Amino acid sequence: MTELSDKHPDVATKFQAGHFTAIKTARRFSAMALDQTHEQNNACIKGPEVARVIAEFESSQKAEQTKANFNHHEQTNTTQDKFLQDVKALTLVMEEMGNPFEEESADLIVLHTKEILCPDAVKSVQNVVKLGREQFHSYADLLTPLEQLADKITDAPHVTSIILDGPAVVEMLKPGGSRAFQEYSTAVFIPYIESQLEYRSRLDAVWDCELKSGSLKAAVRCNHGKGIRRRVTASGPLPSNWQNFIRNNDNKEELFSFLSEQVMQLVVKESKQLVVTDKKQVLTVPPRKDTANLAPCNHEEADTRMMVHAADALQCGHRRILIRTVDTDVVILAVALANERSEVLDEIWLTFGTRKIRRCIAAHQIANALGPEKSRALPVFHAITGCDTVSAFAGHSKKAAWATWNAFPEVTTAFLSLASTLSELPDGVLSTLERFIVLLYDRTSTCCDVNVLRKNLFSRKSSSLEHLPPTRAALEQHIKRTAYQAGHIWGQAAIAFVSLPSPCDWGWMKSGDELKPIWTTLSEVSKSCHELISFGCRKHCGGKCRCKTAALKCTGLCACESGC
C-alpha cells in the first residue's frame, strides 16, 4: 500500500476518493467494501426468484432517502452488547486452547464448538484451488469429447513442419537465472527454437499483433490484468515477475520484436527454413522471394495467424504439420483446416504441455470422425457456446452443448449457414438455433420459443435469472456475434489479409475506443412497467391474492398462469 501511489497512481487516486466502497443507504458511515456488498445481497439472491425480482422492482421505484445519518448502523446498545459477548467468547476459547495460529497438528478444529472435522473436509479445504481449477476445465473444455475421436499419444509425432504459438512459448519459457533480455534470448529462447527445428525442415514462430483500439478481445485482456510497463532492450534487466510483465501489451510487442530479431541471426542448414512474424510482416531464414501468402497479415491473434502459416506450409509441400499451442480455439481451427485441405494434407497434430505432461491431438483424425459437414460447423458451435469474444450460456457446459448437438443434428445446417462470410443473417437460421437453445436448457421441452421457455422456467421451476435462457432479442444479438467470429474471422483464418465488416453491424457497439456487446434491444423493465405483482394462487384467486387486491389481472408469472 505504501508504494501504491508510485506503481499504480490511477488505482491510488480511485482508492483515496473512496471508490472501493459502496453506500446502500443514507447512512454515510455505512460505506462498505464492494465484496461485502455482494455478500449482503446473497440473502435476497438465495430466496425465491419471483420474490427477489419484485423486491428489486419495488426498491427501484422508491425515492432515495435525502436526510443523511452519520451514525453507524451498528451503533446501538443491543448490537454492542452482542459484539462484546462474541469477543469474550473468542477470548475464552483462545485462553483454553492456546493460540490457534501456533497449532501444529493436522486437525481442522471449529473454535467455538471444539469439533474436529473429518479427513474429507480437511482434504477439500487443502485442495480447494486444485478442485476449483479441475471443475472449471471440465466445465469449459471442449477438448474432452473431441479427443475421444482420435488416438491418444504422448510422444511427439514425426512431422516436417512445426508451428509455434509464440506467446504460449514465451509464457512457458521462464527466464530462470537470466538477468537481461539478451541473456534470456541466448540461454533460454534460442536453444528452444534450435531444439524444435533440429528434427524438422521448417519452423514458424507466430506472434500476436494486437490492435491499439477496436479490439474484440480488449475486455478479455482487461480481465487478465495489466502489468507494469518496462522497456525491452538487449542489456535491459529482466522483470522479477515474468507473468506480470507479459500482461502488458506494449511489453509483449517489444519483446516479440526483439526475439524475432534474435531468431533471424541464427545460421541454419540449407535444407531448413525459419519463418518468424514481425507485426504484420514476416522474416525468413534463408530469405524467401515470395511471401505473399504470409504477409502483409492483418490477423490480430496468433490463433488464426497460425492457420495462415499452416496453409502456406501445405502449399510448400509439407503434408505433416505439428502446431504447439495452449488454446482450444487453435484445435477447432486445425480440425476445420484438416477438413478443408484434406487433399494436400496427411497429418496435422497439436501438442500441449511439457515433456513431463504432454498431450498430442490428431486434428486430421477428428476431422475424419466428424465428417465434412460437422468439421466445417465446429467453429460455429464453439463460438455460439462461448469463446473469448462471444459469451457463454451460464450453467451450461461445452459438454452439455455437445450432447445437445448430437441429440438435435438438424442444427448442423444452421451452423453451416453461419460458417461463411455473410452480409446478414439468413432466413430460418434464428428459429433453428432457438430450438437448439431450448433443448440446451430443457431437453424435455417441446416448445420452439425461448421467450416461452424463459417464462415457464421462471414461474414453474423457480430458476434464477442467471440460469434462464436469453430472450429472443438477446439471442439474436448473440447469434450475430457468433456469425462474425465464426464466419468472418475464423472462416477466413487461412487468408493472410482479410476484409472484415464493421463489428457494429454484428452485435457490438462502439464506446470510445472500445467495442462492447449489445446484449439486447429491449428496454429496461423499470422504464416500461410501473407496477409488478405476482402471487402463488394455484387455481382460483382468493381474498389474499395480491393481484386481486391491487385490482390487476394475473400475469404469466403468477402460479395460475393468468388463468383467473
Torsion of CA 342, 343, 346, 351, to 10 degrees: -30
Closest CA to 265 of 252, 256, 274: 274
- Residue 76 in this model has a pLDDT that exceeds 80: yes
Domain-embedded: residue 381: no
Query: Is 324 within 8 Å of 163 (Cβ atoms)?
Result: yes
Q: Assess whether 177 and 114 both reside in one domain.
A: no
At 437-452, the pLDDT tens digits run: 999 999 999 999 999 9
**3-class secondary structure, 161:** strand
* Long-range Cβ pairs for the range 453-456 (8 Å, 24+): 455/556, 455/557
Asked if residue 538 has pLDDT above 70, the reply is no
**How many structural domains is the chain composed of?**
4
Residue 112 resides in a domain: yes
Q: Looking only at Cα atoms, what is the longest distance across the chain?
A: 92
Residue 562: inside a domain, yes or no? no
Q: Is 473 helix (H, G, I), strand (E, B) or coil?
A: helix
Q: Which of 79-83, 176-180, 454-458, 494-498 has the lowest mean pLDDT?
A: 454-458
Tell whether 416 and 442 lie within a shared domain: yes
In 416-527, beta strands by DSSP E:
508-511, 514-517
Task: Check whether residue 241 and residue 361 sit in a common domain.
Answer: yes
Whether residue 116 sits in one domain with residue 147: no
Please give the distance of CA 94 from its chain centroid, rounded to a whole number.
44
d(CA 405, CA 400): 9
Do 202 and 299 have their domain in common? yes
169 within some domain: yes
Domain match, 91 and 41 both? no
Query: What pLDDT does residue 228 have?
Result: 80
Domain boundary at 33, 61, 89, which? 61
The C-alpha angle with vertex 424 and arms to 423 and 428, in degrees rounded to 5, equals 140
Strand partners, 180: 237
Give the pLDDT score at 478. Answer: 98
Distance CA 494, CA 491 (A): 8
* Pair 191, 254 in one domain: yes
Q: What is the pLDDT of residue 426?
A: 92
pLDDT of 251 strictly over 80 = yes
**Whether pLDDT at 518 is above 80:** yes
- State the pTM of this model: 0.75
Task: Residue 25: give the domain boundaries.
Answer: 4-61
- Cα(334)–Cα(388) distance, integer angstroms: 17
Measure Cα distances from 273 to 169, 197, 201, 205 in Å: 19, 9, 6, 11
Spatial CA neighbour of 49 closest among 545, 555, 442, 468: 468
Q: Count of residues for the chain?
A: 564
Is 560 domain-assigned? no
Neighbours of 309 (CB within 10 A): 27
Instruction: Name the more confident of 280 and 227.
Output: 280
| 121, 148: one domain | no
Q: How large is the average pLDDT for residues 501-524? A: 91
Nearest one of 246, 253, 260 to 208, comparing CA atoms:
253
Residues 342 and 460 in one domain: no
Q: Are residues 151 and 280 located together in one domain of the fold?
A: yes
User: Domain boundary residue among 370, 403, 426?
Assistant: 370
- What's the chain's average pLDDT? 86
Is 474 a domain residue?
A: yes
On whether the CB atoms of residues 432 and 411 are closer than 8 A, the answer is yes
Q: In the predicted model, is pLDDT for residue 139 greater than 60? A: no
User: Is 322 contained in some domain?
Assistant: yes
Question: Distance between CA 99 and CA 293 in Å, rounded?
Answer: 69
Same domain, 360 and 441: no
Q: Which amino acid is at 66?
A: T
Place of cell 467495442: 515
Q: Are residues 8 and 155 in the same domain?
A: no
Ranges 63-77, 106-120, 161-175, 275-289: which has the least confidence: 63-77
Query: Does residue 70 fall inside a structural domain?
Result: no
Question: Which of 63-67, 324-328, 369-373 is least confident?
Answer: 63-67
Which grid cell is 194? 534450435
